[in-house]
Amino acid sequence: MLTLKSVHSYYGSLHVLKGVSLHVRAGEIVALLGANGAGKTTTLKTISGLLKPRKGQVEFQGEDISRLSAEAIVQRGIAHVPEGRRVFSSLSVAANLELGAFARRDHQAVKSDLQEIQERFPILRERAKQPAGTLSGGEQQILAMARALMARPKLLLLDEPSMGLAPRLVKQIFAIIRHLQETGTTILLIEQNARAALKVADRGYVMETGRISLDGTAAELMDHNEVKRAYLGKGYQEVWEE
Amino acid sequence: MLLQQILNGLTAGSVYALIALGYTMIYGILGLINFAQGELYMAGAFATVLLLTAYKVNFFVAFFFGMGVAAVLGVILERIAFRPLRGGHPLVPLISAIGASIFLQSLALLLFGPADRSFPIQFEFAALEIAGVSVSTLQLAIFGAALFFMALLVAFVKYTKFGKAIMATALDQDTARLMGINVDRMIAITFFIGSALSGAAGIMMAIYYNTTYPRMGLLPGLKAFSAAVLGGVGNIPGAIVGGLLLGVAENLGAGYLSSGYKDAVAFAILIIVLLVRPKGLLGGRSH
């Protein structure tokens, strides 16, 4: 469904992605792991078009999307939930959800999707008129994910959805991720919490300094010492063990 | 006397508010103070006056024509004076805005000459006496029209899809793009609307003072900027409140001190606000 072929991306003159190749098949959850600064977020930004690769190709459903604008890529069916949730804080919860469907033209279906999402996440209905900035961190994460779902994505890019959340909320977020997979959404997931990510994922990639250093099924990676080292560096143990 | 000054102040203030809305919307989305806003005010007035002079068209047609000319000019301005500079140092587009302002003023001077033009249609306005205060129906019409445009803008921003998308773009451009929002288009729409409002303000003042000339936008533009700062730049209700307050304050200053102090009051307010409450009364947005 999604294929990256030796992608190189830069921030100005800073060479961040140095030939990243990976693929995601339809229906999969793929985890993208790695230490801070390895280039995971940059990879997602390159896929969603916020950043243009200088070399290499991003293919989605057989089409080269590496030169398309972010707006055009959303319309192809890729929704990106950015790091730190980035809800539109002074707009209402309902307005945030509506904006998620900005690119869609099927207005009737948007309405019913909104109903459905509000039923699935009742908090978003209760707080519909409140500014999104007044929600708690976990609620904002749910809103950010729900907002992305309003685009009816075929592929969902999630950047650290559990960051800064209490364990109970982390569980809830991962339950949502699993549910999304069951309903047919393909997911590419970045997670600080590697163990939790590999529990829901089918496969995973480990990134190190702008390159993919390792890939395999979730079970393989779970047992791989290299993962622990690459992901967490020294003193990984306590985080790994939770 | 007091009521009279407040009333005159509200009329002028509603016009400042219209221009201030342009400043504040453009600042909200680009972090840029468009100092050419006053020239768009002038352009709206000239377009209307010239059309009415050349052809016998309906007044409202000429009014919307003037707004349209200002709006299109604003969009062109964004395209050539601001868009190529985006992403650079914030002072650069500011300098470009001042340059655009001087350019447009000089262009008007070149094309239309320095002379004042009176408004081609003479309206018959009645003077009403209410509780010892004299109000002309012209003042009421200006105040009413300004309120109408403000209400229209607030409704647009709050209730329409594109209005919300403009707010989203102002809050977070990258995330707006992830929603499929075309940021360039939202910025162009913002310039279109902000410039149309300034154009409308210019036409109203061209009627009120019965004069149109190339430098007419300078002072109202600067005062509206003060009004936007007073209310909090980037804040839409702030621009409205700031405009009305500024209009009333300068008229009270003119009435109770001396009419010579009228302009000084507006800029004294600007300086005081910047010193005491730089975020404005209703709180602005940092960029």
- Cα–Cα distance, B249 to B267 (Å, whole number): 11
3-state secondary structure B4-15: HHHHHHHHHHHH
Token pair belonging to B9: 């102040």
User: Over 50: is that where the pLDDT of B279 sits?
Assistant: yes
Sign of the alpha-carbon dihedral angle for B268, B274, B275, B279: positive
Whether A236 and chain B come into contact, CB under 8 Å, resolves to no
Instruction: Give the per-residue pLDDT at B46.
Output: 97
- Select the residue of B161, B164, B174 nearest A91 (Cβ to Cβ): B164
pLDDT band at A233 (very low <50, low <70, confident <90, very high): low
pLDDT band at A238 (very low <50, low <70, confident <90, very high): very low
Q: Which fold has domain A2-87+153-236?
A: Rossmann fold (3.40.50)
Cβ of residue A210 closer than 8 Å to a chain B Cβ: no
Average pLDDT (B11-28) is 95
Amino acid present at A51: L
Say yes or no to pLDDT of B20 above 50. yes
Give the angle subtended at the CA of B103 by the CAs of B99 and B109, to the nearest 5°.
150
Selected for mutation to probe chain A from B179, B183, B185, B186 (highest A CB count within 10 Å) is B179
Query: What pLDDT was estimated at residue A241?
Result: 46
- How many CA atoms lie less than 13 Å away from B136 in the CB half-sphere? 10
Return the residue in A42, A51, A71, A145 with the most chain B beta carbons within 10 A, the one to mutate for interface testing.
A71
Q: Which pLDDT does position B149 carry in this prediction?
A: 95
A18-54 residue pLDDT tens: 999 999 999 999 999 988 889 999 999 999 999 999 9
Burial of B124 (0-12, 13-18, 19+ CB in 10 A): exposed
Average pLDDT over residues A207-213: 91
For residue A88, give the nearest of B168, B177, B182 by CB distance: B168
* pLDDT, tens digit (0-9, with 9 covering 90-100), for A172-190: 899 999 999 998 899 999 9
The domain spans of chain A are 2-87+153-236
Contacts of A86 in chain B (CB under 8 A): 172, 174-175
Q: Do A88 and B178 touch (CB under 8 A)?
A: no
Phi first, then psi, for residue A22 (nearest 5°) are -160, 165
Task: Write out pLDDT tens, residues B207-246.
Answer: 999 999 999 999 999 999 999 999 998 899 999 999 999 9
ipTM of the complex: 0.89
| Residue in chain A nearest B181 by alpha carbon | A71
3 state SS of A214: strand
Measured between beta carbons, the chain A residues lying within 8 angstroms of B175 are 82, 86, 88
Which domains are assigned to chain B? 2-276 (1.10.3470)
Positive/negative CA dihedral, B93, B94, B99, B101: positive
Q: Can you give the pLDDT at residue A124?
A: 94
Q: What pLDDT digit, counting tens, does each position of B59-92 carry?
A: 999 999 999 999 999 999 999 999 999 888 888 9
Q: How confident is the model at residue B287 (pLDDT cuts 50, 70, 90)?
A: low
Q: pLDDT: is B183 or B256 the higher one?
A: B183
Mean pLDDT of chain B: 92
Q: What is the pLDDT of residue A166?
A: 86
pLDDT digits (tens, 9 = 90+) for A47-60: 999 999 999 999 99
Supply B35's token pair: 């100092």
Best mutation target, B161, B164, B167, B178, to test chain A (most A CBs within 10 A): B178
Of B165, B168, B178, the CB nearest to A48: B178
